[in-house]
């Protein structure tokens, strides 16, 4: 069969005022360019586990959600879904099926809304795809009728056994960065976490040798790629992290990852990360003060406990020559309209090289979604297209939706100007100069 893997690319946001701001603020434009073009790692993993004998192609539907005409030559098309683009993905699936192409859908969104997806796809996969995908392909080849597949009914995905993703299928698209996974999951279970539905298993680390093997495969396609680790929390295990860095260093690459604030506790790890080419760590701080962080995790209270040393920890990371991208969620239950000024002050106090502000977003499948639905606080339930992290779709507890929107504009207009970027970044570069 001819099998197509169709990723939905580009970023999404609907709030017109914020979109207008995004087009003008230097800090937003810069970040948008960096991440707008990343390949779908999930789909190239599926390609890697597809049984031999099929002709495989990778496609991307661009930011406008339009599929390239070549997908219609396929017998089967696998589509990966996030909530924000799922209506676009359903529309593509409908068009494909009208033209006789069979469609399989998987990914974060359909994992929690399989019945909804079954109205648009022949096959819908719940959970991690690697171990169930060969069975889906076999079923389509036999002409079986469509169904919902549960990954949990297949042997669990052993991350130590993952093959090299099929980076070679990506072709000549001008990607800024290539994604590699070193770990799956996160020990902290935040109630809003949008990766939550895939995090139900325990935290899993891959073998360092396999990670290096995958990066080498990328370097065959692009000599010095920038690597983005598509992890939820890379450096939970510090000793494993040090070994990863030691083996990365000889490759002389630059990379970015997401991790929690505890990297700052280990000076040797920070030194090895820098030497291994780490350029930035993205850390979910969520809120500058302790109180709003109380109870956001289902089992632990890690972030609330760490909040009091956030400033010092971030300074240690940046003093090691690694820029920090501090992420804040605006509109947590204990946030009042003061939060916007507090985040601004915090960002300048550290000062943070990069800051990401997003609004609390009830993604389907999260405890947050269920709670807000039960409390009658969702503005438009099931408007999945609003799950962008930028569109307000709930009643915050400590302000009105409009106050939250206005506060985000206010803060964005201050954090992302040329002046503020300079103010936040100059100390980092000066620190590097002092180091010689
Ligand atoms: C890379 C990335 C992107 C890339 C995506 C590139 C692409 N074309 O796919 C870009 C930059 C385009 C992007 C955009 C957005 N992203 Co993003 N992104 C990520 C990131 C960092 C890594 C994803 C990844 O590679 N995971 C690893 C792979 C292996 O896992 P996976 O994709 O889930 O795939 C597995 C399973 O889901 C399943 N599977 C997936 N697809 C399919 C299909 C079939 C047929 C089958 C059988 C199985 C299957 O099998 C795979 C292997 O096990 C995550 C955060 C994170 N750390 O995970 C956020 C994340 C996925 N993004 C998120 C969001 C919110 C967005 C945006 C809405 C942001 C915005 N406002 O624009 C947009 C969405 C617009 C769009 N185009 O879809 C949320 C998604 C939440 C959700 N439930 O929908 C996440 C979780 C971040 C977060 N914590 O908030 N993103």
| Residues 125, 184: Cα–Cα separation, whole Å | 18
Q: What angle do CA 330, 427, 261 make, to 5 degrees?
A: 45
Query: Higher-confidence residue: 46 or 200?
Result: 46
Q: Checking DSSP bridges between strand 354-359 and strand 323-330, what pairing results, if any?
A: parallel
Q: Per-residue pLDDT for 125 more than 70?
A: yes
Q: Could you tell me which residue, 267 or 436, shows the higher pLDDT?
A: 267
Rounded to whole angstroms, the Cα distance separating 398 from 90 reads 36
Distance (Å, whole) CA 28 – CA 287: 20
What is the per-residue pLDDT across 383-403, written as a single tens digit (0 to 9) for each? 999 999 999 999 999 999 999
- The whole-number pLDDT of residue 382 equals 95
- The pLDDT > 90 percentage for the chain reads 79
Distance CA 78, CA 71 (A): 10
Residue 105 alpha carbon, nearest atom of ligand 1: 45
Q: Which atom of ligand 1 is nearest to the CA of 149?
A: 47
The DSSP secondary structure of 323-346, one letter per residue, reads EEEEEEEET-TT--TTHHHHHHHH
Q: What is the pLDDT of residue 302?
A: 87
Task: Report the percent of the chain where pLDDT is more than 70.
Answer: 96
Q: Report pLDDT for 196.
A: 66
pLDDT at 199 over 60: no
Q: Which residue in 3, 1, 2, 7 sits closest to 67, CA to CA?
A: 7
pLDDT tops 90 at residue 170: yes
* Choice among 18-22, 121-125, 263-267, 317-321 with the minimum mean pLDDT: 18-22
Residues 6+ apart with CB under 8 A from 235: 241, 257, 259, 260, 262, 263, 269, 273
Q: Which residues contact 431 (CB under 8 A, 6 or more apart)?
A: 318, 319, 321
Ligand 1 atom with the shortest distance to the CA of 125: 47
Is the pLDDT at 426 greater than 90? The verdict is yes
Task: Flag whether pLDDT at 198 surpasses 70.
Answer: no
Q: Is the CB of 38 under 6 A from ligand 1?
A: yes
Structure tokens at 431: 């620190």
Q: To test ligand 1's pocket by mutation, which of 80, 92, 171, 197 has the most ligand atoms within 8 angstroms of CB?
A: 80
Ligand 1 atom 53: the closest Cα is on which residue? 128
Does the pLDDT value for residue 436 go beyond 70? no
Residue nearest atom 18 of ligand 1, based on CA coordinates = 230
pLDDT at 31 exceeding the cut of 90: no
Q: Residue 15: pLDDT band by 50, 70, 90 thresholds?
A: confident
CA of 195 to the centre of ligand 1 (A): 8
Cβ of residue 45 lying under 6 Å from some atom of ligand 1: yes
Q: Quick: pLDDT tens for 293-332.
A: 888 887 788 888 888 999 999 999 999 999 999 999 999 9
CB 255 within 8 A of CB 281: no
What is the position in ligand 1's atom list of the atom closest to the CA of 112?
A: 83
Residue 244 has pLDDT above 60, yes or no: yes
* Residue ID of nearest Cα to ligand 1 atom 16: 11
pLDDT of 386: 96
- The whole-number average pLDDT for the span 211-223 is 95
18-32, 113-127, 256-270, 414-428: least confidently modelled range = 18-32
Token pair in block for residue 189? 């279970």
Chain-wide mean pLDDT for the chain?
Answer: 93
Q: Residues 145-168: what's their mean pLDDT?
A: 95
């Amino acid at each position: 069969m001819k099998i197509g893997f169709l990723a939905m690319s580009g970023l999404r946001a609907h709030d017109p005022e914020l979109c207008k701001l995004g087009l003008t603020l230097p800090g937003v434009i810069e970040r948008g360019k960096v991440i707008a073009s990343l390949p779908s790692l999930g789909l190239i993993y599926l390609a890697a586990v597809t049984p031999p004998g099929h002709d495989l192609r990778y496609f991307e539907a661009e930011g406008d959600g339009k599929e390239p005409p070549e997908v219609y030559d396929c017998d089967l098309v696998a589509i990966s879904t996030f909530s924000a683009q799922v209506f676009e993905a359903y529309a593509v699936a409908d068009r494909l099926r009208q033209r006789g192409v069979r469609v399989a859908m998987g990914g974060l969104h359909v994992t929690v809304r399989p019945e909804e997806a079954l109205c648009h796809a022949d096959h819908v996969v719940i959970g991690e795809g690697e171990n169930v995908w060969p069975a889906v392909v076999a079923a389509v080849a036999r002409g079986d009728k469509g169904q919902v597949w549960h990954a949990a009914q297949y042997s669990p995905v052993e991350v130590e056994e993952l093959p090299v993703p099929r980076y070679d299928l990506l072709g000549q698209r001008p990607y800024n960065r290539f994604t590699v996974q070193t770990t799956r999951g996160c020990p902290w279970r935040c109630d809003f976490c949008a990766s939550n539905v895939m995090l139900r298993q325990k935290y899993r680390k891959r073998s360092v040798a396999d990670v290096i093997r995958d990066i080498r495969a990328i370097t065959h396609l692009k000599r010095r790629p920038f690597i983005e680790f598509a992890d939820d929390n890379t450096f939970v295990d510090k000793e494993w992290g040090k070994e990863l860095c030691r083996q990365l260093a000889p490759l002389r690459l630059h990379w970015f990852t997401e991790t929690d604030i505890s990297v700052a506790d280990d000076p040797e790890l920070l030194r090895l990360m820098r030497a291994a080419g780490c350029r930035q760590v993205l850390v979910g701080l969520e809120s500058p003060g302790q109180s709003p962080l109380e109870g956001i995790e289902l089992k632990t209270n890690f972030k609330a406990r760490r909040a009091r040393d956030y400033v010092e920890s971030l300074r240690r990371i940046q003093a090691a020559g690694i820029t920090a991208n501090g992420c804040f969620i605006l509109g947590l239950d204990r946030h009042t309209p003061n939060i916007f000024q507090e985040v601004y002050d915090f960002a300048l106090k550290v000062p943070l090289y990069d800051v990401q502000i997003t609004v609390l977003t009830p993604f389907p499948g999260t405890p947050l979604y269920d709670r807000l639905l039960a409390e009658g606080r969702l503005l438009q339930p099931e408007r999945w297209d609003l799950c962008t992290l930028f569109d307000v779709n709930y009643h915050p507890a400590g302000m009105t939706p409009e106050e939250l929107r206005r506060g985000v504009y206010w803060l964005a207009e201050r954090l992302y100007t040329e002046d503020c970027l300079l103010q936040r970044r100059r100390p980092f570069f000066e620190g590097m100069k002092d180091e010689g």
